[in-house]
Chain A
Amino acid sequence: MADFLPLGEWVDAGVKRLIEIDPGALQQLGAGVERLTEGLEILLLAAPIWLIAGGFVAIGLWRVGWKFALFCVACWVLIAGTGFWPQTMVTMALILAATLLSLAIGLPLGLWVARSDRVAAIVRPALDFMQTMPAFVYLIPAAMLFGLGRVPGVLATVIFAMPPVVRLTSLGIRQVNREQVEAAISFGCTPAQVLFKVEIPAALPSIMAGINQTIMMALSMVIIASMVGAGGLGNDVLASIQRLDIGLGFESGLAVVLLAIMLDRITETFGASGPRRSLRQRLGLSARGGDQP
């Protein structure tokens, strides 16, 4: 049966046309993303295990508590012990690159959406589209436009992971108490001062929740992105599926889960509002306020 709406053909033609008329901008974009991701990957792979793992444990101790710090130690022992250290670092580099790009675009876009109802009306359905379109689908045009490798993986991840930070930044800024903003203006704040001294600090819990969500979505997407050759833990997951290798699947999957838990628990504490607990309380030395790892 012939479709009377050959939408797929049009999109296909559109992407092909884009490749034809592109004067090199796509290549430059691709090269930039490649440099960023590769640089991060080299850095993480070159760093000694104790530095990276120790860093996680230290931040876990500082932000969450001693029980969580112990949990981090266990995670890294498992990851390194099963031999997935290099792949985990590659995945981390992909997550970092995708998250940095998502934030670089998403934070200003979120601010703009908060400021203008018209922009919000355009951006909101676009975000819905980006989030609900099955993640694999992005990989196809990304691979066509940028070839196989890290670049399509990272860019597809950016599209998939950016919506939460845009949404929650916009939500946070819109929810800032109107009288607080009026107070700032009445004391002679310039628009930039209102933004940095009042709106962003007040919206920070919401913005941080958005960043946390973006990181988590980036993690899930970079695994899928191994299908276009992004590399990292996703390669092992993919290989285990192709070979029906239960052991490999479990080990690589577990590394993903552990990495996800560590990243989530640490980044979510940066958005937590309410009184900060003292270091003594986090170390479990104080009688008041127990730990909840």
Chain B
Amino acid sequence: MAPKVVVRSLFKVFGKRPALALELLTQGKSKDQVFAQTGMVVGVRDANFSVNEGEIFVLMGLSGSGKSTLIRLLNRLVEPTSGQVLVGGQDVASMGKKALVALRRKDMAMVFQSFALLPHRSVLDNTAFGLEVSGMGRVARERRAMQVLEQVGLTSFARKMPAELSGGMQQRVGLARALAVGPSLMLMDEAFSALDPLTRTEMQELLLQLQKEQRRTIVFVSHDLDEAFRIGSRIAIMEGGRIVQVGTPDEILRNPSHSYVRAFFKGVDVNQYLVARDVADLSAFPLIQAGPGDASSPAELLARLRLSGWPQAFVVDAQQRWLGTVTPQSLQNACSAGTPSLHHALLAEPPAVAAALGMQALVGRALTSTLPLPVVDGAGIYLGAVTHKSLLQRFARSQADHG
């Protein structure tokens, strides 16, 4: 997929002489040192990342980490000090005023933490705001606004004023206002942070639902780990104006690259984010790879099994696809059948577990099974076995890593 947004060595310094601050930063001074020396605040320091078409890219960090500044650099609500921001190939950081206004009107929309609805306008007029600004006629823009209000479930509130709506509904209007212009890039700044937990979950679901209907590229700022993991295709973690790690939620969870990232998980029960794939251990249980042709005959496998002395083993084919479990007994039975075939030797127990199975369900299954559980991915490829031991080891490790 082509990247929708590419950010290259982007800096933002707030202060009177940003060039001086940049100079100090290139000398390796920290954000705090620059502030102590010059009184200038480094908002974003050497940000480099790209956002792929159609993904939800989450910028995560604590307050003051520069994430809100960074998202505002993408549509130049904040003027960059140096660096490039390519949106659909155009450099936002250096384009002229007219081009910038045109780009904001047709290609970008933003959703704000405090909703930022205009209090003197009805829900419908707020929703149609972006279209009105770009000069669309009243009839056309109101028709379009009604369509998006339907998408967010607010048709019957079109004539209400924002103050008459609850927070969750106001943010639906904020979302509708952004959707109405049909942007290819949506910027969401702590969009759900001001909502109560229940409404927040509801809005996250709505966003994922809308994303299913029509894929848009979304950059989402959040300080909430749960939220980032729930909606993020990829996550960038920020600290002190710098991006310290970018990766999929899985990658970040499994390999926190930085003590700061690990600290982020502190006090968070990371086990709730683990899935069967994370616990699967390839060496935890004997595995026999059946070759093509004769190498897959029950007799051949029986010989190999006896040689190794294993009481049972999982069998995969030449492409590592999981086939089933065999024991000497089941193989013997298959050999003595009329036409010996491996398939007759395969036992259905224990059943394979999907790679994405959540921890809670997995522990339940592991407790009721005497044998290790084979984990397979969507294509049926064997990823390893889950044993009681591997589960305990994983829990012990995450305690040590994050606790």
With the chains together, A198 CA to B181 CA distance in Å? 18
Q: Is B384 engaged at the interface, CB distance under 8 Å to the other chain?
A: no
Residues of B within 8 A of A190 (CB): 101
- Which residues of chain B from 59 to 73 have any CB-CB distance to chain A below 8 Å in the complex? 72
With the chains together, A190 CA to B100 CA distance in Å? 10
Residues of A within 8 A of B399 (CB): none
With the chains together, A88 CA to B110 CA distance in Å? 55
Least CB distance, B283 to chain A, in whole angstroms: 53
Whether B120 pairs with A186 at a CB distance below 8 angstroms is: no
Q: Is B1 engaged at the interface, CB distance under 8 Å to the other chain?
A: no
Whether B118 pairs with A186 at a CB distance below 8 angstroms is: no
Whether B130 pairs with A187 at a CB distance below 8 angstroms is: yes
What 1/0 mask marks residues of chain B from 90 to 112 whose CB sits below 8 Å from any chain A CB? 00000000000111111011101
Q: Is A14 engaged at the interface, CB distance under 8 Å to the other chain?
A: no
Whether B133 pairs with A186 at a CB distance below 8 angstroms is: no
Whether B77 pairs with A188 at a CB distance below 8 angstroms is: no
Residues of A within 8 A of B177 (CB): 183, 187
- Listed from nearest, the 10 A-B pairs whose CB atoms lie closest are A188-B105, A188-B104, A179-B116, A183-B116, A186-B110, A187-B130, A201-B120, A179-B112, A180-B116, A179-B114
Q: Is A135 engaged at the interface, CB distance under 8 Å to the other chain?
A: no
With the chains together, A184 CA to B134 CA distance in Å? 11
Q: Is B187 engaged at the interface, CB distance under 8 Å to the other chain?
A: yes
Least CB distance, A273 to chain B, in whole angstroms: 9
Q: Is A58 engaged at the interface, CB distance under 8 Å to the other chain?
A: no
With the chains together, A187 CA to B125 CA distance in Å? 14
With the chains together, A279 CA to B359 CA distance in Å? 63
Q: Is B129 engaged at the interface, CB distance under 8 Å to the other chain?
A: yes
**CB within 8 Å for A186 and B114 given contacts A193-B133, A201-B120:** no
Please list the residues of chain B having a beta carbon within 8 angstroms of any beta carbon in chain A. Answer: 72, 75, 77, 101-106, 108-110, 112-120, 129-130, 132-134, 161, 177, 181, 187
Whether B118 pairs with A185 at a CB distance below 8 angstroms is: no
**CB within 8 Å for A186 and B113 given contacts A180-B118, A201-B120, A202-B120:** no
**Closest chain B residue to A204, Cβ basis:** B120
With the chains together, A185 CA to B126 CA distance in Å? 14
Residues of B within 8 A of A12 (CB): none
Pick the residue among A187, A201, A275 that contacts B104 (CB under 8 A): A187
Whether A187 pairs with B181 at a CB distance below 8 angstroms is: yes
**Closest chain B residue to A193, Cβ basis:** B133
Residues of B within 8 A of A184 (CB): 118, 129, 133
Residues of A within 8 A of B113 (CB): 179
Residue from A177, A201, A204 whose CB has the most chain B CB atoms within 10 Å: A177
With the chains together, A187 CA to B132 CA distance in Å? 10
Whether B133 pairs with A182 at a CB distance below 8 angstroms is: no
**Closest chain A residue to B180, Cβ basis:** A187
**Closest chain B residue to A198, Cβ basis:** B118
Whether A188 pairs with B129 at a CB distance below 8 angstroms is: no
Q: Is A189 engaged at the interface, CB distance under 8 Å to the other chain?
A: yes
Least CB distance, B131 to chain A, in whole angstroms: 9
Q: Is A197 engaged at the interface, CB distance under 8 Å to the other chain?
A: yes
Least CB distance, A124 to chain B, in whole angstroms: 23
**CB within 8 Å for A186 and B101 given contacts A179-B116, A202-B119:** no
Whether B133 pairs with A187 at a CB distance below 8 angstroms is: yes
Residues of A within 8 A of B109 (CB): 186-187
Pick the residue among A186, A202, A204 that contacts B77 (CB under 8 A): A186
Whether A186 pairs with B119 at a CB distance below 8 angstroms is: no
With the chains together, A64 CA to B328 CA distance in Å? 97
Whether A201 pairs with B118 at a CB distance below 8 angstroms is: yes
Whether B133 pairs with A189 at a CB distance below 8 angstroms is: yes
What 1/0 mask marks residues of chain A from 185 to 212 whose CB sits below 8 Å from any chain B CB? 1111110010001100110100000000
Residues of A within 8 A of B102 (CB): 188
**CB within 8 Å for A188 and B101 given contacts A182-B77, A193-B133, A197-B133:** yes
With the chains together, A198 CA to B119 CA distance in Å? 9
Interchain Cβ contacts under 8 Å between A and B, 24 examples: A177-B114, A179-B116, A180-B116, A180-B118, A182-B72, A182-B116, A183-B110, A183-B116, A183-B177, A184-B118, A184-B133, A185-B77, A186-B104, A186-B109, A187-B109, A187-B129, A187-B130, A188-B101, A188-B106, A188-B133, A189-B101, A190-B101, A193-B133, A197-B129
Residues of B within 8 A of A177 (CB): 114, 116
Whether A202 pairs with B110 at a CB distance below 8 angstroms is: no
**Closest chain A residue to B106, Cβ basis:** A188
**Closest chain A residue to B103, Cβ basis:** A188
With the chains together, A201 CA to B118 CA distance in Å? 9
